[in-house]
Structure 1
Amino acid sequence: MVCPKCGENNDKVLDSRPSDDGFVVRRRRVCLVCGARFSTIEKIEGLKPMVIKKDGSKQPYDPDKILRSLDVACQKRGVSQQVKENICSDITHIVEGRFNKEISSSEIGEFIMSKLMDIDRVSYVRFASVYKNFTDLDSYTAEINNFDVGSGAPPEE
């Protein structure tokens, strides 16, 4: 690795730690020329799975799109950034676990809704309203009526 301080390519790994459920390795390094310490992150690189959109078009999977959707759905709801990143990471592991195969955008949407249902129901309804294309108040009412209001738990199927 090139040292971010002096630009030399002469370093030593001091410590390696797995993170993100073992899919990422964080390495702490020291430059043998100037003594600067810095961290690097190593992860498996490969071809990204393709997402099949509702219109039949395909595009590479992009976890940033999920994070942006979660940001919008959870806006002003007190859902921490870490929780949103964990949801995104969980979904990314599922998608990438298919080893370069295709996945439909509707499957990804269902994964997101199942995670949001357990975390924040208002965020769930916000996401579902876009995902399911609610067009009137009755659509919202029907979705909310699916909740098991008494227990606080997600509705049973």
Structure 2
Amino acid sequence: MRCPVCNHPDTRVVDSRMSAEGDSIRRRRECDKCGFRFSTSEEILLLDLVVVKRDGQREAYSKEKLIGGLKKALEKRPVTEAAFRSLVHGIERAIQRLSADEITSVRLGEIVMQHLKDFDEVAYIRFASVYRQFEDVETFQRELDALMRLSVVEAASSRKRKKRL
């Protein structure tokens, strides 16, 4: 790796640390020529994944598009940068577990929505309203009602578990 200060092509790794999630490595490096120290990050990339759109068009998977959509859904929500990175990594891990060269945009959207539902319900509704192209208030209300029913069921289940303990 080239030194960002003197552009010397040789640097050595001084220290390596794995992230808490185990999906990336932070490396501390030092330039062999000028001694400048800097950090790099290494993570798994989804390189050869093709997204098949609803109209049949194919395009390469873009992490930037995923991040852009998530940022819109999470706009003005109380989310830390670390939590956001963890959400993105979780979604990408779910995609990787499919072990496929292609994924439909519908399947990709469903994976994103499932992660958002667990992460932030407001962001989930925002994302779903665009992704599922809510046409009217009734469609929006049905999705909210389904989310509320799920929350009530999960809360009741949680109370039952606590009573058993």
TM range, normalised to the smaller chain? 0.7 to 0.9
| Alignment partner, residue 10 of structure 1 | 10
Instruction: Report if the CA contact (8 A) 1:113-1:124 is conserved.
Output: yes
What is the alpha-carbon root mean square deviation over aligned residues? 2.5
- For 1:134, what is the secondary structure of its paired residue? coil
The alignment status of 1:85 with 2:85, answered yes or no, reads yes
Which residue pairs with 1:114 in the alignment? 114
Say if 2:3 and 2:11, in contact at 8 Å, map to a contact too: yes
User: 45-54 vs 130-139, which deviates more?
Assistant: 45-54
5+ residue gaps, structure 2? 158-165
Aligned-pair CA distance for 1:149: 7.1
The letter for the 1-side match of 2:70 is L
Q: How does 1:140-155 map to 2 (within 5 A)?
A: 140-146=140-146, 147-148=148-149, 151=152, 153=154
CA deviation after TM superposition for structure 1 residue 80, in Å:
2.8
In structure 2, C-alpha distance between the alignment counterparts of 1:47 and 1:118, rounded to whole Å: 27
Residues 53 and 136 (structure 1 numbering): CA distance in 2 closer, same or farther, change over 3 Å?
Answer: same
Distance 2:64 2:153 in 1: 30
* Equivalent residue number for residue 37 of structure 2: 37
SS in 2 for 1:151: helix
Q: Are 1:55 and 2:55 matched, yes or no?
A: yes
Aligned-pair distance for 1:46?
A: 6.8
Aligned to 2:75: 75
Q: Structure 1, residues 37-61: CA drift from partner, whole Å, max 9, x if none?
A: 0122334567421111111111111
Could you give the per-residue CA deviations for residues 116-156 of structure 1, whole angstroms, max 9, x where no partner exists?
Answer: 212222211111111111000000111111122763849x9
3-state secondary structure, aligned to 1:112 = helix
TM-score by length of 2: 0.80
Write 1 or 2 for the structure with the bigger share of helix. 2
Q: 1:141 to 1:55 in 2, by over 3 A?
A: same
Indicate conservation of the 8 Å contact 1:87/1:112, yes or no: no
Q: TM-score, normalised by structure 1?
A: 0.84
Gapped regions of structure 1 (runs ≥ 5): none
| Mapped partners of 1:125, 1:144: distance in 2 | 7
Change (3 A) 1:118 1:49: same
Identity of aligned residues (%): 36
Q: What is the letter of the counterpart of residue 13 of structure 2?
A: V
Matched residue, 2:132 = 132
The SS at the match of 2:149 is coil
User: What secondary structure, in the 3-state scheme, does the structure 2 residue paired with 1:148 have?
Assistant: helix
Aligned residues: 155
**2:17–2:26 Cα contact (<8 Å) kept:** yes
Task: Name which of structure 1's ranges 57-66 and 72-81 shifts more when overlaid on structure 2.
Answer: 72-81
